[in-house]
Structure formats: C-alpha cells, structure tokens
C-alpha cells in the first residue's frame, strides 16, 4: 500500500497523440493486473497491448475520451469512455482501472469525474456503465459519481450518470 504522503503530484490528464509507446505498455500492464492475468502470459499480453494500440490509433477525442492518472512518468490508473457513432448521445464508461497499491485513495473517482467533466463541456445527456454487482469498489465509485441505476438484472447493473 502506498502511503498518503506518497500520493502527491498525481496528475489526471487526457492522453495525447504525443504520448509514446511506453505509455501503451504501462496501460496494458495495468489492465493485465486488473484482470488478474499473469504478465508472463504472452497471449494475453499481446492481445492487451494490441487492444491499446488500436484504441490509441483510433483516439480522436470526438467519439472517445481517455484519461490517465500519473505520477512523474509512472501511470497509476486510467479511465476511458466512448460512444457508438450510430448512438452519439450515449456515452459508455468502458474502462476504469487503478493499480492495486494506489486504490482506495480517491483516484478512481477522480478519473471517473474527469471523464464526466470532459463530456459535460459539450453537454452530453448521460454516461452509461455496466458494473458487476460483486465489484464493491466500482459500485462505490459509481455511487460517488452519481450513478442512477437503470436495470438490475442477474450479476450486473446498468446505470446512467
């Protein structure tokens, strides 16, 4: 666990096209850890990295938003949202991860809030999210961000912020 005094100088910012490949590797690593994959698992590693490479190539700020939390050059979390071109009013929070050692310190909530603030600029109507009911941390973040539950079926809830 990281101590509170070590949480200084954490920046939440949107990714830019000038970010380098090392950033993608760090994002893939956080995602692998979040999914509890072994970093030595080459198949998952390649798939995860290429997934981020593709997202980065398609990133335009128009149909997707992508925020990272970083301390110096180390990325400690990310959040991304996107919308389908055929349903432009419906944004989805489709990725929120914080490195385990840094969790429980408000970083996940700040990342989610950064997405909401960014999307509020052109005044979106809502941000949607699917959340597994057993993911307490994620539910708490959603609650703090103001999630309103729309459907509650089986293991997952769907909500609107």
Using the rule CB under 6 A, which residue among 55, 113, 138, 145 binds ligand COA? 138
Q: Angle, nearest 10°, between helix axes 136-145 and 107-120?
A: 40
**Minimum CB separation from ligand COA for residue 17, in Å?**
25
Using the rule CB under 6 A, which residue among 62, 88, 140, 149 binds ligand COA? 140
Contact (Cβ atoms closer than 8 angstroms) between residue 145 and residue 109: yes
Stretch that binds ligand COA, among 1-9, 21-29, 47-55, 128-136 (CB under 6 A): 128-136
Q: Does residue 29 interact with ligand COA by CB under 6 A?
A: no
Core vs surface per residue 129-150: b (16+ CB within 10 A) or e: bebeeeeeebbebbeebebeee
Which residues of this protein are in contact with ligand COA, per CB under 6 A? 34, 96-98, 103-109, 131, 135-138, 140-141
């Amino acid at each position: 666990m990281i101590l509170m005094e070590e949480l200084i100088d954490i920046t939440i910012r949107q990714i830019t096209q000038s970010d380098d490949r090392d950033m993608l590797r760090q994002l893939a690593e956080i995602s692998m850890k979040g999914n509890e994959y072994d970093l030595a698992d080459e198949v998952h590693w390649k798939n995860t990295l290429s997934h981020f490479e593709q997202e980065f190539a398609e990133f335009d700020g128009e149909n997707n938003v992508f925020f990272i939390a970083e301390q110096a050059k180390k990325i400690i979390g990310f959040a991304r949202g996107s919308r389908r071109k055929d349903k432009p009013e419906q944004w989805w929070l489709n990725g929120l991860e914080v490195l385990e050692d840094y969790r429980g310190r408000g970083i996940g909530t700040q990342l989610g809030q950064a997405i909401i603030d960014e999307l509020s600029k052109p005044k979106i109507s809502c941000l949607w999210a699917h959340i597994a009911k057993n993911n307490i941390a994620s539910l708490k973040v959603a609650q703090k961000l103001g999630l309103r539950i729309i459907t509650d079926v089986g293991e997952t809830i769907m909500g609107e912020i």
